[in-house]
Amino acid sequence: MKTSFLDFEQPIAELEEKIEQLRYVQDDSALDISEEIERLNSKSQALTKDIYAKLGAWQISQVARHPQRPYTLDYLSGMFTDVEELHGDRAYSDDPAIVAALARFNGEPVMVLGHQKGRDTKEKIYRNFGMPRPEGYRKALRLFRMAEKFQLPIITFIDTPGAYPGIGAEERGQSEAIARNLFVMAELRTPIISVIIGEGGSGGALALGVADQMLMLQYATYSVISPEGCASILWKSADKAAEAAETLAITANRLKTFGLVDRIINEPLGGAHRDHELMMQTMRKALTDTLRHLQDKPLDTLLQERYERLMSYGRFKETPER
């Protein structure tokens, strides 16, 4: 797959183009230019490292939304075995924007759920750009309950612009569907791990993200509102998205300092989309550690800690008596 480059990656793109041309020339030339290619390759690497070392929040948003980034189904096929996808909310329909599977992780059965975006236009529409409708959240709810029943740990992958703002979604209770998941996940008697793999878009993301451990990829984002949405409301112009992104504190680093994310998972150089294979390895290791850590805890302790953690969210002043 040919990497598609983002705006701020143009210098890398040009270099890669040159390397590609040289390779082509080398194929039918007697001259050995492999040294030159090697030199350019390491230059490209250094350049990538350089650019990625100082990404702003808005640039990170672009990486988080990169069309070649691994999605939930990629992680499912890349890290899990015996994957059986399960469908439907048993009430209205099946929502392809959320996928769910009974699968094995390191040989052990788990329940995996996540948002799913599409790669090409047709699939993007089919997956509704990863924006779930109430039935998606209700499918998740049903399978959360099932995981609890069979004592299966839950792993959720979060990657959505947000819950779908549509007429039908409102008619079928989008608010209630999200709210119900928040309630149930808070008291579900089985370990829950959430990983933000791309876009953590507001309530639509949180509805799969009440967890014992919150993991986040290095170039993922998690936000109460999209930078564009925030900019158009507060700055009255979507062009101020970069400024909004910076101010909203949506990156893994900022959120880790606030204690809202437990662990940052490093991505391959140039982002997860550059090397799916390596991303799977790093992810597997992080999940293995986290899962072991959670499974060592008695269930009551786990739930107590989950509750206390939820209650600790927020920053406010406390004055003795006004």
Contact between 160 and another protein by CB under 8 A: the answer reads: no
Instruction: Report the C-alpha gap between 174 and 295 in whole angstroms.
Output: 33
Instruction: Report the site for another protein in 164-223 (rule: CB under 8 A).
Output: 164-167, 169-176, 178-180, 182-183, 186-187, 202-203, 206-207, 209-210, 222-223
- Which of 25, 233, 269, 299 lies at the binding interface for another protein (CB under 8 A)? 233
> Measured between alpha carbons, how far is residue 265 from residues 116, 154, 220, 262 in Å?
20, 18, 10, 10
Contact between 93 and another protein by CB under 8 A: the answer reads: no
Q: How far is CA 272 from the centre of its chain?
A: 11
**Tokens 């788990």 belong to which residue?**
110
Instruction: Report the site for another protein in 236-295 (rule: CB under 8 A).
Output: 236, 244, 247-250, 255, 258, 260
Q: How far is CA 156 from the centre of its chain?
A: 9
Contact between 31 and another protein by CB under 8 A: the answer reads: no
Instruction: Report the C-alpha gap between 30 and 37 in whole angstroms.
Output: 15
Q: Which is nearer to another protein, 20 or 187 (CB)?
A: 187
Instruction: Report the C-alpha gap between 263 and 212 in whole angstroms.
Output: 12
| 87 SS3 class | coil
How many CA atoms lie less than 13 Å away from 174 in the CB half-sphere?
Answer: 17
Contact between 300 and another protein by CB under 8 A: the answer reads: no
Q: Which is nearer to another protein, 247 or 282 (CB)?
A: 247
Whole-number minimum distance, CB 197 to another protein, in Å?
A: 17
> Residue 249: what residue type?
A
Whole-number minimum distance, CB 312 to another protein, in Å?
A: 9
Q: Which is nearer to another protein, 189 or 292 (CB)?
A: 189
Q: How far is CA 258 from the centre of its chain?
A: 19
Please report, as ranges, the residues that interact with another protein according to CB under 8 A: 163-167, 169-176, 178-180, 182-183, 186-187, 202-203, 206-207, 209-210, 222-225, 230, 233-236, 244, 247-250, 255, 258, 260, 307, 310-311, 313-322
